[in-house]
Structures are given as structure tokens and as C-alpha cells.
Amino acid sequence: MNNALNTLIQRIEPPFWFSGMHNPELQILFYGVDIAQCQVSTANPVVITNVKRTKNPNFIFVTINTQKISTTEIDFIFKPKNKSSFIQKYELRERRKNSSLRKSFDSSDTIYLLMPDRFANGNKNNDNDSSTTEKYNRDLPGGRHGGDIEGIIQNLDYIQSLGITAIWSTPLCEDNEAEFSYHSYGQSDVYKIDPRFGTNEDYVRLSEEVHRRELKLIMDYVTNHWGLAHWMLNDSPTKDWIHQFENYTQTNHKRSTISDINASKIDRTICLNGWFVPSMPDLNIGNPMVFKYLCQNAIWWIEYANLDGFRVDTYNYSEPEYISKWTKAITDEYPNFNLVGEITMRNQGLLSYWQKDSPIAKIQQFNSNLPSVMDFALSDALQVIFNEDDDTWDQGITKVYDLLSKDFLFPNVNNLLIFGENHDTKRLNHIYNNDIRKYKMAMTMLATIRGIPQLYYGSEIGMAGDQNLGDADIRKDFPGGWEDDENNAFNPKTRSECQKVYFDFTSKLFHWRKTNDAVHFGKTTHYIPENNVYVYFRYNTTKSVMVLINNNPENQEIYTPRFKENIGNYKKGKEVLSDLIFDLSQAIIIEGKSALILELE
């Protein structure tokens, strides 16, 4: 028997696993030329529960039960036809202490969303890699600009100085498309960090550095699709590994067909099975091997990189029955683990449908098991209201009041991800023409209403971008992330005056937010806006915060007796950013297009 490293097996996925998992069943993919003609056994007391061969002879899927395995190394014996047997060793690693009970992100956190390629180039030596197609070209707006994991690590202190507590990075796994690969949503190897970002070990080091600062790390996970260059699509295990049509068929993007009791079957099928774009084949999560593969890949990254949460891309483009089971497989392993799904729908009822234990989805006997959803309805409002000076029935600040009046639809309103912008939307500073008053109102609202606030990199220094000019314009390089940048906004000494004003406000606001649990988990009482002024309270049994948003261009005089039920016996309010004291028995004067946050005393 040959104990030397064999040349027949080219890939093993997962590359290693962990002992003591909640689900003891492990499906191991072995890939190599004609590997399926081998007989497989083990030299250890390891129970092989299933060996699955497909029509493609280059794949064999071996399932073992890891429940009672005490060894850290398993010897798989492969016996090819008419050849000597060989041994393939497989590692089982120990889990971190209390790994299954890891704490995740919640509404006490503020999340910073960054795009690694556009954030900072910390290691110029990995700008290009011989194994990947697209090369460094910072002059090309949609090209690879060289930002990487090292750039993130070098600027963690900057992120922390903003009052941020969690980092969501867009995907870092390999994307070997010939162009526009910088965003990495068309992944070509989901067990490997893109070498232009760094290595798997670099990602683990990022996690360690994040946790050393008591921050949290959220991975952007993609269940719906891979990229055309994915290694497995060049030699698929099965024909139905991805959804295929007689002719190319793109999704109709009508996710409402999933919950629509009147929807036609063909519309629903095209929504779920159509490809997102021509370069992103749609994964068939209903295939049991695909389903198991995606479950294990997600859990492997959580365990290996010690992650604190997932943001799940295009969550409701996958078959509901199976994406909900995928989510449950993760939370069965990690009961406290938070996952936020990208549900790009603007109707609160349809958004609620996708949150775990939704009373709306219950009518159809469906439960997504998804703890959190992205509040796109609120995002849409925050992108228009501060340009609406007239407070009509459904215009101006009233839009937010009306949205929050429907919070009863959500089973866990505190666990909604709230944001004004992200990498797929218009930038706030462009919409509001870099009017910092409007930026301050938007940030104040994100910091004080229910939910988990998410900021988008660069807005805190006034970065803008016009989506009408293409995605690259809303995904510009952070100034100072490259050695030859004329302006370095990471360094407080070299920020422009404009950048400093934006940064100082944002930092002070979100550092304050970290200290006040009334805005983390407290209740909300809000009042119908008058004259485009919105007043609401966040409170618990020990604290109360009064927030006033004046969306009127003119100064407003706010009479406090109307808010007696929330003011109660409080006598004064300390404004958290200016330290000014307001007498609550007197009218409050608030400047036009401004906000006040009062901690009541």
C-alpha cells in the first residue's frame, strides 16, 4: 500500500473538518481523474455511511459519521482497479472552546461595510497572481485596484475610531472572471481567499486582529450562484448541479412570486432558477449534494475563521424550502449566530415574510429561519426624504413615521439591518449634494431608531458617487489607501477640513451610541410629524432618549406638553453631541435641517 502523497486526488472539500460538531454527518468531496472507479474504505474505526458516485467519474462523495471519532487524522484507503491501494489522510481539528455558543452581532452593534479592493492596498506584492486572469489596473474604474486584507488590517484602528463594532466585507473568496472580478460575487473557489486579497491564513489573521480590538467580523456569503469560472462548473459532478434551461434564462427578479398565491408556476420557476446574470450560474440548492456542500462550506468558514455572522447575498433567489434548511443547519450548530439576508424588496409585508417566525409567512406554513433582513424600505426613504421640504400626507419625514408604524409586521424589529446606502445603491452624499446637514440627519436616524445600523465606507469622510455613471462610481477607492494618494483620510492630520467635519460628527455620534442601551434594545414611541419635524423616544426602564429631526428648512419651535407621556417627570435633556442642556418645560428651538438627541435627566 502506498502511503505517499498520491497524485490521483486533486481536490478535497472540505479540506479538513472539526470534531464535536452538532451534526456528525460529514460529506467529503474527492476530485481527481477517474477517482470514482476506486473502492473506498478507512483504516480507522470510522463509519462510512454513504459513498456517492455520479455520472462524472472524476467525483466521489464519501459521507462519514464523526460522532465517536477520537482521532485527529483519518486514513482513507483508495483501491483503484488493477492498481495498488493508496492512503489519503484527512484531518479533524479541535473546535475552539465554546465555539458553538459564540456571540454574534445584534442591535448593540454598528456595522461598517467595505469593499476590500477599494479600501486599502496593504500589500502591493499580491496585486497580481499567476493563477488568476484579471490583472491590476487602477486606471480602469471597474478593474482590480489592489485593495486587500492587509489593507483592512492596517486600518482597523481607523474603523474602530469611528465607533464601529462590526465589519462586513464584501466577498473575499476567489473570483476568477476575466473582468469586473473585484467585487468577488462571482466566486470560482469558495474554499480559497482570492490571492489578490491574500491567503486563507491572512483572513484568519484579520479575524484575530478584529477580535483583539473587541470588534466582530461578518462574512458576505453567497448561496444563490457561483461565477462561470468556478472550477466545478468546468467539470460538474452532475448536470443538475446548476439550474439549466434549453436557452439562457435570466431570473425575472420578481421575488414576490414566491409568496404570491396567484403567481404562475413558470414565473416562480424563472424567478428562482433563472441566472442572476450571464456570468453567474444559478446553483441548484435542491440537489442534496449541493445543499450539503453549501451547508458545510458555510460552517467550515465560521469555524475556521472564527466568524461572528453572515450577510447572505441574494437570499430569496434560492428555493425557499432549501435556503431555510441551509439557514437552520447553521443556527443548529451555532444557536446565537446571526445571519442577515439581502431581501431587496421595498414592502414591509414582503420583507417580514423572510424574517424568522414571520406571522405573515406562517399563513403559508413557511419559516425562513433567517434571523435578520435588510430594511430596504427604510433605505429608500432615507435616500429621498431630506430633499423633500414639504411635509404632505406621504412626503418628507412622514415617510419614516409611516414605515415605523408598520413595525408590528416584524417578529423581531430590533434585528433588522438598517442603512441609508450600500455598494448597490446611490450614495447619500451624492443624493444630498454633500449637504452635511442632511447627512447628519440621516446618520442621527440610523443611530437612534430600532435595528442594527450599517455605514458604507467613505461616507464618513464625505465620499460621494453617481450610480448613473456605473457601479464603479459608488465604489471608489478610499483616499489614502494607496501610497501615491495625494490625500490620506485615514490619518486625522492629513484629512481635509471637509473630511474632518464629516468624520468627527460620525465618530462622536456612533461612539455615543455604543454607550446607550435604550437605543440598542429599548422601546419606541413616536409622534405624527408636524411641519416636517419628527419626534420620537427610545427608552427602557432606566433611560430615555428624545430625538427631534427637523426636516424643515426653517427653524422650528417645538412645544413639549404634547410629549408628556414620554417626558413624564424628566426635567431636562442633555444634547449628546453638543452637551447643551434643554429645559423640557420650555419650548425647544431647533434649527432648520438639523437633529437633536437628548438624553433625558
Structure confidence by residue, pLDDT tens digits, 364-396: 999 999 999 999 999 999 999 999 998 888 899
Q: What does 431-482 look like in DSSP terms, one character per residue?
A: HTTT-HHHHHHHHHHHHHSSSEEEEETTGGGT----GGG-GGGGSPPPTTSS
Structure confidence by residue, pLDDT tens digits, 234-247: 999 999 999 999 99
Last residue in a domain, options 94, 125, 140: 94
The catalytic residue among 194, 313, 421, 477 is 313
Q: How remote is the C-alpha of 502 from its chain's centroid?
A: 25
Last residue in a domain, options 49, 69, 94: 94
Asked whether residue 558 is assigned to any structural domain, the reply reads yes
Asked whether residue 48 is assigned to any structural domain, the reply reads yes
Q: Is 342 a catalytic residue?
A: yes
* Euclidean distance between CA atoms 457 and 445, whole angstroms: 18
Helix (H) or strand (E) run with residue 190 in it: strand 189-193
Last residue in a domain, options 69, 94, 119: 94
Segment 30-39 shows an average pLDDT of 96
Q: How confident is the model at residue 1 (pLDDT cuts 50, 70, 90)?
A: low
Structure confidence by residue, pLDDT tens digits, 76-125: 999 998 889 999 999 999 999 999 999 999 999 999 999 999 999 999 99
Judged against a pLDDT cut of 50, whether residue 5 lies above it is answered with: no
Q: How remote is the C-alpha of 362 from its chain's centroid?
A: 26
Judged against a pLDDT cut of 50, whether residue 590 lies above it is answered with: yes
Contact 397, 549 (CB under 8 A): yes
> Terminus-to-terminus CA distance in the chain, angstroms?
79
Q: How remote is the C-alpha of 280 from its chain's centroid?
A: 19
* Euclidean distance between CA atoms 256 and 105, whole angstroms: 29
Structural domain tally of the chain? Answer: 2
For residue 474, what is its C-alpha cell?
A: 459608488
User: CB count, 10 Å around CB of 248?
Assistant: 9
Asked whether residue 402 is assigned to any structural domain, the reply reads no
Segment 491-514 shows an average pLDDT of 98
Asked whether residue 273 is assigned to any structural domain, the reply reads no
Q: Which domain holds residue 25?
A: 11-94
What is the pairing mode between strands 111-114 and 452-456? parallel
Q: Is 313 a catalytic residue?
A: yes
Asked whether residue 550 is assigned to any structural domain, the reply reads yes
Contacts of 199 (CB under 8 A, 6+ apart): 193
**552 φ, ψ (degrees, to nearest 5):** -85, 135
Beta pairing partners, 527:
535
Asked whether residue 75 is assigned to any structural domain, the reply reads yes
Segment 152-177 shows an average pLDDT of 98
Residue 6: its pLDDT value, please? Answer: 61
The catalytic residue among 13, 109, 342, 375 is 342
For residue 601, what is its C-alpha cell?
A: 435627566
Contact 255, 248 (CB under 8 A): no
